[in-house]
Amino acid sequence: MQQADIVRGRVTVVDDDELFLESVSTNLADAGYRTDSFLGGAEAIRYLSGGPSADLVLLDWKMPGISGIEVMQRLRAEKIDIPIIFLTVLSDQIYEEVGLLGGAVDFVEKSRSFAILLRRIELILGGDKRRWQAHPPAGPHDHSGLVLRYDSRRALWRDNNVDLTLTEFNIVAYHVR
Q: What is the pLDDT of residue 151?
A: 66
Do 122 and 149 share a domain, yes or no?
no
62-84 pLDDT, tens digit each: 899 899 999 999 998 888 888 99
Look at the alpha carbons of 77, 78, 79, 85 in this order and tell me if their dihedral is positive or negative. Answer: negative
pLDDT at 53: 80
Model's pTM, two decimal places? Answer: 0.68
DSSP string for 38-60? ESSHHHHHHHHHTS---SEEEEE
Show the CA angle centred on residue 31, arms to residues 124 and 68, nearest 5°. 50
Question: Over the stretch 94-137, which tens digit does the pLDDT of each residue have?
Answer: 767 777 777 788 888 888 889 999 998 988 887 544 444 445 55
Using left for φ > 0, alpha for ψ between -120 and 50, and beta otherwise, residue 159 falls in: left
pLDDT in tens, 16-72: 999 999 999 999 999 999 999 999 999 999 999 987 688 999 999 889 989 999 999
What CATH number corresponds to the domain at position 157?
1.10.10.10
The domain of 88 spans 3-133
State whether 126 and 143 are in the same domain: no
Reported residue count of the chain is 177
Q: Which DSSP helix (H) or strand (E) runs through 164? A: none
Same domain for 168 and 108: no
Kindly report the CATH number assigned to the domain that includes residue 7. 3.40.50.2300
163, 113: one domain: no
What is the rounded average pLDDT of the residues 157-164? 84
Per-residue exposure over 66-79, b if at least 16 CB sit within 10 Å of its own CB, e if not? bebbebbebbeeee
Question: pLDDT-based confidence at 138, cuts 50/70/90?
Answer: low
Percent of the chain exceeding pLDDT 70 equals: 84
